[in-house]
Each structure stands twice: as structure tokens, then as C-alpha cells.
């Protein structure tokens, strides 16, 4: 299922469920970019592709191509309109002189998805992501009616500083802090303080990378509301409209 070509790279997107840990109902999906060589023989690592695009000055093009593809896939599914759709944004795009505000909003409107609940995930890759950069970036997304998430909290440049400066609607706890949380007193203590923090400031907390039932249980016991990870659902293609009955049966 590939229909977009960027040089000799064929782009694709998959969707990973984000689950309400109280009800185990779906809260939404994170869109994840994928890519292969044109002959299909080689799978490109998305993070490598992003670095390559950054070096070549084509980061904005790649970011937008994945976003546009995701929007067309969402438009072709009959999933509930109440779901939240999490899009990753590489904040280094802000350095591209071709950046204009409103690309995503325009793509949504054109696809008939004007009411889609969109959450923009700002990632941990950008070493320059400081207060000034956030001040340039965040209003662009807020103006388009999107919520903001800090991705991979605790990893890379997604630091506690970024958390208090950004004041995001959602924080996604990095999977390295989730891994083994059922067996590690330090990780558990940190989680407890973040749950309390989230509660106090009215921020949603999503635990990423949940792989085992014991990790899931530890997170639920501490009152973490949302979760994501291979245990809850692997990234995969969305059901097409015509596949809807089977998709419900499989869910
Ligand atoms: O940086 P970000 O959190 O957006 O990265 C998401 C990446 O993590 C995706 O490539 C996805 O395939 C991967 N991923 C999602 N869930 C899990 C998980 O439970 N375990 C591991 N190891 N990787 C995961
Ligand atoms: Mn993400």
C-alpha cells in the first residue's frame, strides 16, 4: 500500500493506537512515517531518512509528504470522528524558508476532515528547540486549532525545561522511562511525580512503548490515563472503508 514517491524512496504511513487505560477504549492514533526503496527491497529507517532530509534541506518536503499521505488515508477510513490523531512534526522545519502556516489545516479541509481532532507532537530531535523557537512554532499550530504534545518526554531535547516552557496539552512519556517501570523504584517514583504534575496543571499524560502486562498494570495503578505500545497495538495500516466490518470484528 504505497502511493507516494520522493526520489527513489517510496513513502508510506502506519497508525498506532493510543488507548484509554481506564476503559481500554481507543483515544486515537499516532501517525508514523515509513519508507522503502522504489523496488521494495530495502526498508529505510524513518529516523535516518529524517536526518538525511535535514542534511539535504528537504525536511519540510518529507514532513509534508508524510502528513498529506496520512490525511488521505484517514479520509478513506470510517473510524469514529471522535478519535484524536497525533502527527509528528520535526521542529527543525521551522528553519525552512518555504515554511508557511496552514498546510495541515488546508490539507484537512480539502479532504473533508475539517473537524478532525489533531494533536501535533513536537519531538526531541531539535537541539535548538528553545523558548524563542517554541514561540515561533506553537502559535502556527494553535491558530490551526490543533492541540500540542511534547513527544518523548525525558529523551533527547524533550527535557523538563521544554515541558515547563511549552506547557503542552499532552506529554508523552518516553519509552525508556516506561521500560521496566514495574521493577524499578526510580522510574516508578518519577512517574508518580509526573502523574501528580499532570493532574495539577491539567495536562494529559500518555505512556509510550508499553510492551508487557506488568508495565501496563504499574502504569494503570498510578493512574496514567493513556497508553501506547506494542502490547496495546502495533503500528499498522488503517482499515479502509470497504474493510470496515472485518475491522470491527478484529478490534
Ligand atoms: O519518537 P516517537 O515516539 O514518535 O517514535 C515512535 C516509534 O516507536 C515508532 O517507530 C514505533 O514503531 C516505535 N514503537 C511504538 N511502540 C513501541 C513499543 O512498544 N516498543 C518499541 N520498542 N518501539 C515502539
Ligand atoms: Mn511520536
Domains of the chain: residue spans and CATH:
2-227 (3.20.20.450)
- Out of 86, 208, 213, 214, mutate this one to test ligand 1's pocket (max ligand atoms within 8 Å of CB): namely 208
Which is more confident, 1 or 10?
10
Is the beta carbon of 104 within 6 A of some atom in ligand 1?
no
Dihedral pair phi/psi, residue 248, rounded to 5°: -65, -40
3-state per-residue secondary structure call for 74-136: HHCCCCCCCCEEEEEECHHHHHCCCCCCCHHHHHHHHCCCCCCEEEEEECCCCCCCCHHHHHH
Query: DSSP state, 25?
Result: -
- Amino acid 193: pLDDT: 97
As a residue count, the chain comes to 251
Is the beta carbon of 230 within 6 A of some atom in ligand 1?
yes
- Amino acid 3: pLDDT: 37
Burial (0-12, 13-18, 19+ Cβ within 10 Å), 156: middle
β-partners of residue 18 are: 28
pLDDT, tens digit (0-9, with 9 covering 90-100), for 206-224: 999 999 999 999 999 999 9
- d(CA 130, CA 162) in angstroms, rounded, equals 7
CA atoms within 13 A on the CB side of 77: 21
pLDDT, tens digit (0-9, with 9 covering 90-100), for 88-140: 998 888 888 888 888 999 999 999 999 999 999 998 788 888 888 888 889 98
- Out of 17, 19, 30, 32, mutate this one to test ligand 1's pocket (max ligand atoms within 8 Å of CB): namely 32
Q: Is the confidence at residue 2, as pLDDT, over 80? A: no
- d(CA 141, CA 166) in angstroms, rounded, equals 13
Is the beta carbon of 229 within 6 A of some atom in ligand 1?
yes
Q: At what angle do helices 46-56 and 59-75 cross, to 10 degrees?
A: 130
pLDDT, tens digit (0-9, with 9 covering 90-100), for 24-77: 999 999 999 999 998 889 999 999 999 999 999 999 999 999 999 999 999 999
| Predicted TM-score of the model (pTM) | 0.91
Which is more confident, 18 or 99?
18
Burial (0-12, 13-18, 19+ Cβ within 10 Å), 220: middle
Q: Is the confidence at residue 247, as pLDDT, over 50? A: no
State the DSSP string of 221-246. Answer: HTT--EE-STTT---BPPPPGGGHHH
Burial (0-12, 13-18, 19+ Cβ within 10 Å), 11: buried
- Amino acid 6: pLDDT: 63
Degrees, nearest 5: CA angle 224-167-89? 90
Number of CB atoms found within 10 A of residue 47's CB: 10
Q: How far is the CA of 22 from the centre of ligand 1 (A)?
A: 22
Q: How far is the CA of 245 from the centre of ligand 2 (A)?
A: 29
Amino acid at each position: 500500500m504505497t502511493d507516494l514517491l520522493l526520489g527513489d524512496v517510496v513513502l508510506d504511513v502506519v497508525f498506532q493506537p493510543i488507548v484509554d487505560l481506564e476503559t481500554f477504549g481507543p483515544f486515537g492514533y499516532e501517525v508514523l512515517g515509513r519508507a522503502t526503496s522504489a523496488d521494495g527491497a530495502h526498508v529505510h529507517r524513518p529516523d535516518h531518512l529524517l536526518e538525511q532530509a535535514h542534511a539535504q534541506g528537504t525536511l519540510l518536503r518529507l514532513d509534508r509528504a508524510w502528513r498529506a499521505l496520512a490525511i488521505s488515508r484517514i479520509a478513506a477510513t470510517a473510524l469514529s470522528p471522535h478519535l484524536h490523531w497525533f502527527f509528528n512534526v520535526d521542529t527543525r522545519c521551522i528553519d525552512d524558508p518555504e515554511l508557511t502556516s496552514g498546510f495541515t489545516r488546508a490539507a484537512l479541509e480539502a479532504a473533508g476532515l475539517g473537524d478532525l481532532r489533531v494533536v501535533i507532537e513536537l519531538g526531541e530531535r531539535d537541539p535548538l528547540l528553545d523558548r524563542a523557537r517554541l514561540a515561533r512554532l506553537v502559535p502556527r499550530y494553535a491558530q490551526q486549532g490543533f492541540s500540542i504534545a511534547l513527544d518523548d518526554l525525558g529523551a533527547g531535547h524533550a527535557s523538563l525545561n521544554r515541558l515547563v516552557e511549552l506547557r503542552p496539552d499532552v506529554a508523552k512519556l518516553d519509552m525508556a522511562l516506561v521500560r521496566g517501570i514495574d521493577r524499578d523504584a526510580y522510574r516508578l517514583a518519577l512517574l508518580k511525580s509526573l502523574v501528580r504534575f499532570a493532574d495539577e496543571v491539567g495536562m494529559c499524560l500518555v505512556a509510550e512503548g508499553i510492551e508487557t502486562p506488568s508495565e501496563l498494570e504499574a502504569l494503570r495503578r498510578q493512574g496514567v490515563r493513556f497508553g501506547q505500545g506494542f502490547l496495546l497495538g502495533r503500528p499498522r495500516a488503517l482499515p479502509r472503508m470497504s474493510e470496515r466490518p472485518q475491522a470491527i470484528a478484529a478490534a
